[in-house]
Amino acid sequence: MRINHETYRRAAIAAIFASIFHLVLTAVIFLLGFVLKDDATRIAAYSMLCGIPVWIVLILLFHQHRLERLEALEHEQLRSRADATGSIFEFDENEIPANASRLKWMHGFLVPAVSLLIAALLIAIGWWQRGAVSARSLQGMRGVNVAEAGSAGYGVGITAAIALVCFVVSWFLGGMSRQPAWRLLRAGATVTIGAALLNAALAVGYGFQLNGNPAVLSALAHIFPIYMIALGLEVIVAFVLNLYTPRKPGEYPQPAFDSRVLGLLAAPESVVKSINDAINYQFGFSVTSTWFYQLLSRQILPIFGFMIMLILLLNCMSIVQPDEQAVVTSFGRLQRNSKVFNSGAVLKWPWERVERYPVSQIHQVLVGTETEGEHAKIDESGPILWDNAHTLGKEELIIVGPGRIDAGIDVGNDGESSLARSIAVVNAEVPVQFRIKEGQDAQGNWELLNFINFVGGDGRQREALIRQIATRVVNRRLAAMSIEQVLGPARSALSDDLRTRIQAELDRWNSGIQVVFVGVAGIHPPKDVAESFEKVLEARETRESTIQDAMRVATERLSKAAGSVEKAQTIAGEIEKLRNMSSSDSGYTTQSLVVEQALLGAGGSAATKILEAKANRWTTQNERLATAIRHNSRLMPYEQAPEYYETREYLNTLQRALKGRQLIIVPVGMQIRMTLDLKQDPTMINLNEIGASKDAVDKLRNDE
């Protein structure tokens, strides 16, 4: 092809139209990203925006090449005219034209400067977007913003169409760049093929999001910034290599912003040529010239078409395993009248998808602890105590309270209520195992469809909701139990109770889930307060031991007093009735006899005391009766002769006292001095004090 100013004019026009096309597509992607609120689409738009300076430089270069060619043509005409006419004006052959000098400056300074600018933009924007996405994830926010599943269809259509058009334009520009004059268009082709790859990846991500899987779009939001940083680093490496690459005089270097990696996709024939040369070199002769290779190269399209048809036919059938059930979806919507397929072959269209669900597989969620990833459980080969860590992850706290809350709450002087003192906080590990129900429900709906409609999203979101429901049920149940019941005998029956309650809650949600097993693997206080918890339990055990000892002592005493505890309780009831009665009541005596007969019939120590009291009463009564009779028998003689009776009684008493003793009586006036056994222990008796007269003394002397 002849290189002249028209050649570069055509290239400039192509660059202008391609730049307008690229700018419009960039604006469309920007608008799509902000409308759908998708981070991956916005980052792709930023990457496409960095390609605008490439087109501006290419337009300027091709325009300057055109001016340089026009200037060279004029220079040639002036030299020809000077040679033919012999002009008086000298023509300087060594003078460099202005446009040629400006073109050299653009290749030497403008293109490298723009390359560094593009590299800086790619690295800066890529680092910024990568940091923004990572910061949202670390702060516990939503992380990556992903388009809604309902609007993902628009994203699929727009990005797929842009990718297709960009591929066509990039291959067209790559074909033009094979001409030496249009070699610079290869940089524009790499920019366009980069946009095509970004939009193709977005189309795939939106397709997955349409089927309820946002993982691809979320991953692209992390991959695109890394792609921009890598592309910027490649530009810097190419810039450095251009500085040290030797060139022929008049040869311009390949722009640093012309990506060598993306250029392979923009001009795939260079890759094919390299592969052909490598094959010929390895075999030592021109394999590409053989009839088989030539036949294969001519029939490659039919062979490729046959492979595509075979892939499509294989994609029209799916196999459902014996332990699975499946439904057919098209772009996220159920097909075949929401029919559920059992094991066997399922025929479908290539754009339809067979979603298989393992209805016989047992799934498990854990309530109260985390056991995934870095939160795996610790080694349980040794003893696990309350003050040891049960898991490396975070354990949830569950409130355990009294079984019944009375209307009145006692508040002490310290302001702490009895309700607050009865509440405890524990960690519980409750594994919940479940599976998908088979068959249909009472309304005739497939249980698998109920499971699918239970919650949108992937299996992790569904398990997260099941875990939340189970956690709420466990919290409610344990909050209605006391800590003694949770840690004591009621724990054995807690498993079946929780399974029934969780199943009822899931049935209320119409979830299509069957709870197979609920276990109470471990209930323990938080590790930091385990020592205090043990002290409380130790105090409660001491209290219970004291109560049991008191009951034992009470049983012994009651059995000793009444023969048995039951008889003692019966007698206590009768005594309480007697206490509630007044002595003036008509039935008081009867009730007293009932109590007495009950005590005597029990045969215990109380009956012994009663019998002893009765015996003591009769003994005392008889003694007092004998004393009264004896007193009455002495009363009549005393009334007949009081002085004689008193004197006789005195003398009789004295006789009894002096019986067997030696007595010396010495009368001294009105007194009598008596000495017994010659001892110095006199006893002075004043006869006047006892009312004795002188006649009585004389009579006593005469009697002796």
d(CA 254, CA 238): 9
Cβ–Cβ under 8 Å, residues 33 and 46: no
For residue 158, give the amino acid letter: I
d(CA 106, CA 85): 36
d(CA 255, CA 262): 14
pLDDT score at 688? 46
Cα 683 to chain centroid, rounded: 108
pTM: 0.45
pLDDT score at 678? 44
d(CA 598, CA 296): 119
Could you tell me which residue, 421 or 187, shows the higher pLDDT?
A: 187
What percentage of residues in the chain have a pLDDT greater than 90?
A: 2
pLDDT score at 411? 37
Q: Rounded mean pLDDT of 23-43?
A: 88
3-class state of residue 317 by DSSP: strand
Best CA proximity match to 205, nearest among 142, 159, 269:
159
Dump the DSSP string for 459-488.
HHHHHHHHHHHHHHHHHHHHHTS-HHHHHS
d(CA 99, CA 72): 9
Does residue 405 have a pLDDT over 50?
no
d(CA 692, CA 697): 8
Q: Rounded mean pLDDT of 130-148?
A: 66
Cβ neighbours of residue 147 under 8 Å, at least 6 residues apart? 36, 37, 38, 41, 155, 206, 209, 217
d(CA 196, CA 161): 10
Does residue 686 have a pLDDT over 60?
no
d(CA 432, CA 598): 60
- Using the structure block, give the residue that is written with the tokens 């007495």: 596
- Using the structure block, give the residue that is written with the tokens 């366009």: 192
For residue 518, give the amino acid letter: V
Best CA proximity match to 122, nearest among 226, 30, 25:
226
d(CA 660, CA 168): 159
Best CA proximity match to 207, nearest among 152, 141, 266:
152
Sign of the CA dihedral with 613 first, then 615, 618, and 623 last: negative
Average pLDDT, the chain: 75
In the DSSP assignment, the letter for residue 417 is: B
pLDDT score at 690? 44
Q: Rounded mean pLDDT of 610-627?
A: 82
pLDDT score at 284? 63
Could you tell me which residue, 583 or 504, shows the higher pLDDT?
A: 504
Best CA proximity match to 217, nearest among 136, 131, 149:
149
d(CA 291, CA 349): 39
Tokens of 118: 């593009």
Does residue 37 have a pLDDT over 80?
yes
Does residue 373 have a pLDDT over 50?
no
Does residue 468 have a pLDDT over 70?
yes
Does residue 501 have a pLDDT over 80?
yes
Could you tell me which residue, 436 or 490, shows the higher pLDDT?
A: 436
Q: What's the pLDDT tens digit per position in 112-127?
A: 888 889 889 988 988 8
d(CA 649, CA 546): 67
pLDDT score at 587? 74
pLDDT score at 93? 53
Q: Name the fold adopted by 363-377+390-404+421-524.
A: Tetrahydropterin Synthase; Chain A (3.30.479)
Sign of the CA dihedral with 68 first, then 72, 78, and 82 last: positive
Tokens of 642: 């009081």
Terminal CA-CA length for the chain: 193
Tokens of 157: 């259509």
Q: Where are the beta strands (DSSP E) in 539-598?
A: none
pLDDT score at 178? 77
pLDDT score at 693? 47
Could you tell me which residue, 428 or 84, shows the higher pLDDT?
A: 428
Best CA proximity match to 120, nearest among 50, 210, 58:
50
Best CA proximity match to 477, nearest among 496, 457, 501, 460:
501
Could you tell me which residue, 482 or 52, shows the higher pLDDT?
A: 52
Provide φ and ψ at 399, rounded to 5°: -85, 130
In the DSSP assignment, the letter for residue 583 is: T
- Using the structure block, give the residue that is written with the tokens 């067209």: 172
pLDDT score at 704? 47
DSSP3 helix / strand / coil % (the chain, rounded to 5): 65, 10, 25
Does residue 197 have a pLDDT over 80?
yes
For residue 271, give the amino acid letter: V
d(CA 398, CA 523): 10
| Highest mean pLDDT (candidates 67-76, 190-199, 237-246, 565-574) | 190-199
Cβ–Cβ under 8 Å, residues 173 and 40: no
Q: Rounded mean pLDDT of 369-377?
A: 52
pLDDT score at 416? 45
DSSP collapsed to 3 states, 241-306 = HHHHCCCCCCCCCCCCCCCHHHHHHHCHHHHHHHHHHHHHHHHCCCHHHCHHHHHHHHCHHHHHHH
d(CA 31, CA 61): 31
pLDDT score at 548? 85
Nearest 10 degrees: Cα torsion 369, 373, 377, 378:
-140
3-class state of residue 91 by DSSP: coil
- Using the structure block, give the residue that is written with the tokens 């202008």: 16
3-class state of residue 310 by DSSP: helix
Does residue 626 have a pLDDT over 80?
yes
Tokens of 82: 């000077």
Cα 252 to chain centroid, rounded: 62
| Highest mean pLDDT (candidates 105-109, 234-238, 552-556) | 234-238
Cβ–Cβ under 8 Å, residues 304 and 296: no
Domain ranges of the chain: 5-82+95-266, 268-298, 305-357, 363-377+390-404+421-524, 539-621, 657-703
Q: Rounded mean pLDDT of 365-369?
A: 80
Best CA proximity match to 533, nearest among 386, 332, 347:
386
pLDDT score at 394? 58
pLDDT score at 8? 80
Best CA proximity match to 253, nearest among 104, 119, 122:
104
pLDDT score at 668? 64
pLDDT score at 407? 35
Does residue 687 have a pLDDT over 50?
no
Q: What's the pLDDT tens digit per position in 441-465?
A: 888 888 888 888 887 656 777 888 8
pLDDT confidence bin for 415, thresholds 50/70/90? very low
Does residue 406 have a pLDDT over 50?
no
For residue 279, give the amino acid letter: I
Does residue 152 have a pLDDT over 50?
yes
pLDDT score at 390? 56
3-class state of residue 385 by DSSP: coil
Q: What's the pLDDT tens digit per position in 201-214?
A: 888 888 888 777 78
d(CA 525, CA 425): 7
pLDDT score at 140? 42
Q: What's the pLDDT tens digit per position in 174-193?
A: 778 777 788 888 888 888 88
Neighbours of 565 (CB within 10 A): 15
Dump the DSSP string for 490-548.
THHHHHHHHHHHHHHHHHHTT--EEEEEE---EEE--GGGHHHHHHHHHHHHHHHHHHH
pLDDT score at 94? 54
Tokens of 296: 């294969």
Does residue 86 have a pLDDT over 60?
no
HSE (side-chain half, CA atoms, 13 Å) at 98: 1
Kindly calculate the radius of gyration of the chain based on its CA atoms and give it in whole angstroms: 58
For residue 624, give the amino acid letter: R
3-class state of residue 674 by DSSP: strand
d(CA 207, CA 155): 8
Does residue 90 have a pLDDT over 70?
no
d(CA 523, CA 567): 44
